[in-house]
Amino acid sequence: MNNSINKAVSSAPAKVILFGEHFVVYDNPAIVAAINKRIHVYAQTNNKLRINIKSGKNSICILTRGNVDLVSIRDKDMSFLHPIFKCVSHVLSEKNKSNIGIDLDIDSQIPYGEGLGSSAASCVATVAALYSLFSDNNRNQVYETSKLMEQNIHKNSSGVDCYVCTFGGIMNYEPDKGFSNIRPKKKFTLLIGTTGVKHSTGEVVSQVKEFREKNSSQFKDLSLKAKAIYKTAVNSMLEGNELELGRMFTENQKLLYKLGVSHPKIEKMIDVCLNSGALGAKLTGAGRGGAIIALLPHDKSTEVLAKISKSPGKWMLVEFDYDGVIVG
């Protein structure tokens, strides 16, 4: 056994879905963007044949043969440590390194289960750190493996979350053409509000699957409308038309409401944003809780934010992230 300890560090950004969540699972386009909140993963090899994963006060320790050795999960919502374990064991076996152990320390600014891509970002950052331990820094491979690993969390994953967490930027996803960068003509001011209601993306995606099976013609109609909104949104970004872009947020939200993925807290927070001068607002990600995004008028963002911030919910202005996953 090699006794030397290798170390690596990586980080990946959170994401928002600007347009097209849920519809993207069924071959429809979407616009996704990375934002300036990150998860950091510090990895090092150990000679104890154990995978130790630590995140704040929570930790799991698993023998590399796969038996759970010791689990110490203090917060009930720390189930995200299990998919991270799967990422580690997958890379170890892919690289024929099942004879070593790994210590991982996770430090995240991304709230878990709130629609901001904590699962995707944790898979991307973990896989990138592990590959880096074995001198492999191929971003495409990081994306492919993370996408596969995210399917352990929800099996119908479209892969858009992992893509944007790996490559960063604002991405236009078209099923027949793949991903391309969108470079908006003007800076847009994006506000995120989190409801505090945690959701399971896998469960919400399954509920939408059921909705689609029971209401196929309604789903087709909603998908066509979502596609039209997406097209207008791409143009309004390219033309720097924030009024139209904001309107598209709100139009997209109406479709998500009909799909059954909204939540009373989401509706309330959206109303607050619209009544305070936001140009548009919608849920982002899977819905049924999680987060909303609102487009603020760029030249009046301070006063609109001041009004919105007085109401319940956690609010944060975010910037787009153009780095994607960073190793080292």
Q: Which positions are annotated as active-site residues?
A: 161
Instruction: Give the Cα separation of 5 and 7 in Å (integer).
Output: 7
User: Where does the chain have alpha helices with state H?
Assistant: 81-94, 118-133, 139-150, 160-167, 201-214, 216-239, 242-259, 264-275, 301-308
- Which part of the chain contacts ligand MEV (CB under 6 A), choosing from 18-26, 82-90, 191-199, 265-273? 18-26
Please list, in sequence order, all residues whose beta carbon lies within 8 angstroms of the beta carbon of residue 179, skipping any fewer than 6 positions away.
163, 167, 171, 172, 173
- Give the binding range for ligand MEV (CB under 6 A) out of 17-25, 73-81, 84-92, 291-299: 17-25
Q: Please work out, in degrees rounded to the nearest 5, the angle formed at the alpha carbon of residue 114 by the alpha carbons of 111 and 119.
A: 70
Closest CA to 134 of 166, 107, 163, 102: 102
The answer to whether 27 touches 210, Cβ cutoff 8 Å, is no
Judged by CB under 6 A, the number of residues near ligand MEV is: 13
Considering only 22, 147, 199, 288, the residue that binds ligand MEV (CB under 6 A) is 22
**Region of 19-27, 33-41, 192-200, 262-270 interacting with ligand MEV (CB under 6 A):** 19-27
Which residue in the set 14, 18, 19, 21 belongs to the binding site for ligand MEV (CB under 6 A)? 21
Which of 10, 45, 126, 158 forms a contact with ligand MEV (CB under 6 A)? 158
**What DSSP letter does each residue of 10-42 carry, written as one string?**
EEEEEEEEEE-TTGGGGT--EEEEEEEEEEEEE
Contacts of 307 (CB under 8 A, 6+ apart): 276, 277
160 lines the binding site for ligand MEV (CB under 6 A)? yes
Site for ligand MEV in 278-297 (CB under 6 A): 285-286
Nearer to ligand MEV, 42 or 179 (CB): 179
* Per CB under 6 A, 157 contacts ligand MEV: yes
Among 25, 60, 125, 272, binds ligand MEV (CB under 6 A): 25
Spatial strand order of the sheet with 291-296 comes to 280-284, 291-296, 189-194, 314-318
Quick one: 158 or 223, whose CB is closer to ligand MEV?
158
* Residue 33 contacts ligand MEV per CB under 6 A: no
Does residue 171 interact with ligand MEV by CB under 6 A? Answer: no
Min CB(276)–ligand MEV separation in Å: 26
Choose among 295, 205, 233, 210: nearest CA to 30.
Answer: 233
Residue 272 as a binder of ligand MEV (CB under 6 A): the answer is no
Q: Which residue is nearest to ligand MEV (CB)?
A: 158
User: Which residues form the interface with ligand MEV (CB under 6 A)?
Assistant: 17, 21-22, 24-25, 157-158, 160-161, 201, 205, 285-286
